[in-house]
Amino acid sequence: MPSDTVTAAPPAAGATADFGLSDQLSGLMNPQSVAVVGASANAEGWSGMAVPVLRRLGYTGKIFPVNPKYEELNGLPCYPSVSAIPEEVDAALMFVPQKVLPDILEDCGRKGVRGAVILASGFSETGEEGRALEERLREVANRNRIAICGPNCLGLANLDSGFMGLTAATFPEDMSAGRTALISQSGQLLMVLLARAHDQGVHMRYLVSTGNELNVEAADYAGWALNDPQIASVAMALEGLRTPSRFLELARRAREAEKPLIVLKLGRSQRAARTALAHTGKMAGAFRTYEAVFRQNNVVSVDDPLELAEVAALFEKCPAPRGERISVVTFSGGWSGVVADQAEALGLPMADFTEKTEAALRPLLDFTPPVNPLDLSGNVNNHPERWGQSLEAVLADENTDIVVVFIHQVREAWRGRLISPVLELARRSDKPILVVYDGGKVVEAGFDQLAKDRSLPIYRGSQPALKALKRFVDYHRRANVTADDTPRPDLPDGAAATMKAQLAGNGRSLSEHAAKAALRAYGLPMVGERLVMSEAEALTAAEEIGFPVVMKGLADGLEHKSDAGLVHLNLKDAGGARAAYGDLAEKLAGQTLNGQPAPCVVQQMVTGGVEVILGMQNDPDFGPMILVGVGGVMTELLDDVALRRAPLSRRDVKDMIGETRLGMLLQGYRGAPRADRAALEDAILRLSDLAVEHAQEIESIDINPLLVLPEGEGCVAVDALIVKPEEATQ
C-alpha cells in the first residue's frame, strides 16, 4: 500500500468486516446496553468516569460495570466478566491493557456482543509485535462478528442517545445532539473539530475516532450515519482510505440521500519517491487525484479543520439555495467594498436588486444608494427599526438567492436591536441567511448569543464565511446538474486485441509508433506516419506523405524526444529531410528500441489547432484517472489540467474542459477559429473506455499534443506514449 494512503499498517486479507456490518454497527453506534470492561472506582481515570458520564448525558440503556475486583460500582452490580452478565449486551467499552484484549473479545463473542470500543494503543502503529497482536484481535473480532472501534482511538459517541464511549481531556459544556456526524481518523483532531464546531453553533449527533480501523472503516461509520433522517451532513477528517471502493459507494449513497460528505483530506504532498515516465504520472499527484474523485462524486472538500465546521454550519442550518446570487447587508461602506471584492475573487455572483426592492429601500436610507452590497450607514443608530425593514426588503428581492448579514463593532446596548430581527427572519425564511459578526473580543457576547441560538450559521470574518458559502453553492449546483445524453462514440471491433498485441511486443514503454498504432485501434485520431530505418526509406516516406513533414528518433529510455534533441519539425523538402535524418542517425548511433537498432519515424506536419494533453494514470487507490488540459512543450510548467476517474460520462468530460483554459481556447480565443470541441470530447471518452478495458495492463498514457483543429475538422494526435506497469516487464 502506498505510504500516503493510511498511516496505520495495511490491512491483512479479510481485515474489514464482511459479516452483517449494518446490524453490528447499530450495536456499536446505538447500543441499548453497554458493558464497561475494566470499570474502576478511580473517579479521575476514564475507567472510573465512564459510568458517571453515561448517566450525566442521559443514556437510557442498561449499564453493566465489569471488573472481578468489585461487587458494586456507582450503585450498580459489577460482574467478573462480560459472559457473567445475566442480560443481553450490545456494546463493550474496553478499559484494559492490550495483551488481555483477545481473551476478553472471545468472552464478548460468547455473550453475543455486537460491538466494542478498544481505546488501548500499542498495536500496528508500534511495529511487528504490535502488528501481530492486532492481527490476532482482528481474527477474534471477525470470527465472533464484533464490530470494533479502534484500537488506538479515542472512541465514539451517540449524543442523541447519550451513549458516550469517547475519552478526551475536555468537552464542550453543552453536549446536546445536532444534525452533523463527525468522523476522524485522528483522535485529537476530532476533539479540535468538535470544539470548533460548537463555537460555530454546530452540534454533533455522532462522533467517531476510528483509530487503526481494525474491521470497521471511516466510510462504514459514515454510511451508517447517513441512514439517520436527522443527519444533515457527514464531516470527515481522512488521512487515507483503506478500501477506496467503500468510499466511492459511500459517496454514491450520499448523493442519493442528498446529504453532503464534507471531507478534510490530510497529507496533500506528492507521493514520495515516485518516478514517472509520463507527464500524466508526474501531474496526477496523490492529492490532485483525491480532489478529482471528490469533485466527480460531489464530495465537499475543505482545506483546514476550521473550514470543516464552517461548511457544516451551512448545511445544518440553511435550506438549499435556489441560485447563487448573494446580497450583503451591513452598515459600513468600507466593509461593503471588502465583501464585494472577496465575493468576486471567489466567483460568487452579487445580485442586482429589482426596481421594486430599490423603491422599498429608498425611504429607509439617508444618503447611501439602494444597491448591493447595501450600506445602511448610521441608520442603525438613529432609526433602529430600519435595520429589520431593510433586511426584509432584501430577503424578499426576487434576484436575491442568499443573504449575508455583516455586523461589526457596535455598542453592547445595540446588540439586541441587530440580532433579534436577523433571528426572526432566519426562523421563517426559505432562503439561506448567514451572519458575519466581526469585531474582536469586545463584541464576543453577540457572537456567542447567535451561536447558542443555533438558528443560522455565524462567522467571525467575511473571508471564511464567503469561502464556506462557495463550497455550499458549488455542492448544490453540481447536485442539480442533469446528465448529458449525447451518444458515446462506438469502439471499433478488434481494438482490445490490437492493444494487447502491442503491449505484449514491446518493452515497458511503447515506442511512439507502437503507441499510436494501439491508440488508433480505439478510434483515437493519429497523425499519418511511417517507420524508417535508412535515409532512402526516410526520403521515400516524406515524398509519399507529402512535405512538410516531421522526423523523430525513437529509442529506449528517450521517451521525451524533444528534450533529447530527437525531433525535427517543418521539413519542407528532400534536402531538409536528408539533413534531419543524418542528425538523428548520429544521435541514435548505438541506441536500441526493444533490442533492435533505433529507428526514425516520418510523419505528417500538422499546424494550427489548440494543443491539448490527454492522458491516463493508473492510480493505486482509484484505478484509471483521465487527465486533460493545455498541452504542448510547456504542459508541466503551465500545469493547467483537470483530472477524473474513469469511466467518464460526457458530463464529466464537459466539466473537465470547462475547468481549464481549454474552454476559452476552444471557443476561438483572440480571433482564432472555433475548435472542434465535439471531436475532443469523443477522443477523451475513447481514452476513458480504453483505460477501463486495460486497467491492469497500462500504468500511464500520454497523448501530447493532441491538436484540436477548427470546428468540423476533428482532432489529431502528433505524439503518444504508453507505459506498462513495472512488474509487467520483470
Higher pLDDT, 261 or 242: 261
Q: What percent of the chain has pLDDT over 90?
A: 74
The predicted structure's pLDDT at residue 272: 34
Query: 8 pLDDT exceeds 70?
Result: no
Q: Tell me the fold of 324-480.
A: Rossmann fold (3.40.50)
Domain 533-603: CATH superfamily is: ATP-grasp fold, A domain (3.30.1490.20)
Query: 227 pLDDT exceeds 60?
Result: yes
Q: What percent of the chain has pLDDT over 70?
A: 93
- Helix 535-545 × helix 574-588 angle, to 10°: 140
The predicted structure's pLDDT at residue 82: 98
pLDDT tens for residues 496-548? 999 999 999 777 889 889 999 999 999 999 999 999 999 999 999 999 999 99
Higher pLDDT, 458 or 285: 458
Hey, which bits of 350-455 come out as E strands? 374-375, 402-407, 433-437
Quote the pTM value.
0.90
Question: Could you tell me which CATH number the domain at 171-183+206-317 has?
Answer: 3.40.50.261
The predicted structure's pLDDT at residue 22: 74
22-29 mean pLDDT: 90
470-476 mean pLDDT: 98
Q: Which residues contact 128 (CB under 8 A, 6 or more apart)?
A: none
The predicted structure's pLDDT at residue 268: 67
The predicted structure's pLDDT at residue 11: 34
Specify whether the CB–CB gap between 515 and 721 falls below 8 A. yes
The answer to whether the 21-167 and 171-183+206-317 domains have the same CATH topology is yes
Question: 623-630 and 62-66: which strand pairing?
Answer: unpaired
Measure the CA–CA gap between 325 and 323, rounded to whole angstroms.
6
Following DSSP, what letter does each residue of 274-295 receive, concatenated?
---SSHHHHHS-HHHHHHHHHH
The predicted structure's pLDDT at residue 12: 35
The predicted structure's pLDDT at residue 451: 86
Which of the residue ranges 46-60, 438-452, 502-516 has the most confident prediction, judged by mean pLDDT?
A: 46-60
C-alpha cell, 613: 494533453
Q: Would you place residue 447 in the very low, low, confident or very high pLDDT band (cuts 50, 70, 90)?
A: confident
Specify whether the CB–CB gap between 676 and 708 falls below 8 A. yes
Query: 4 pLDDT exceeds 50?
Result: no
162-173 mean pLDDT: 87
Element (H, E) at 244: helix 244-257
The predicted structure's pLDDT at residue 632: 81
Question: Quick one: which of 1, 47, 2, 10 has its CA closest to 212?
Answer: 10
Q: Where are the domains of the chain?
A: 21-167, 171-183+206-317, 324-480, 488-527+606-729, 533-603
pLDDT tens for residues 672-729? 899 999 999 999 999 999 999 999 999 999 999 999 999 999 999 999 999 999 876 5
480 CB burial (10 A radius; 0-12, 13-18, 19+): exposed
The predicted structure's pLDDT at residue 271: 44
642-665 mean pLDDT: 94
Specify whether the CB–CB gap between 365 and 353 falls below 8 A. no
- What architecture is domain 488-527+606-729? 2-Layer Sandwich (3.30)
The predicted structure's pLDDT at residue 408: 79
Measure the CA–CA gap between 209 and 188, rounded to whole angstroms.
9
Domain 21-167: CATH superfamily is: NAD(P)-binding Rossmann-like Domain (3.40.50.720)
Q: Would you place residue 409 in the very low, low, confident or very high pLDDT band (cuts 50, 70, 90)?
A: low
Q: Which of 273-287, 318-332, 511-525, 550-564 has the lowest mean pLDDT?
A: 273-287
Encoded amino acid at 342, one letter: Q
The mean pLDDT value of the chain amounts to: 90
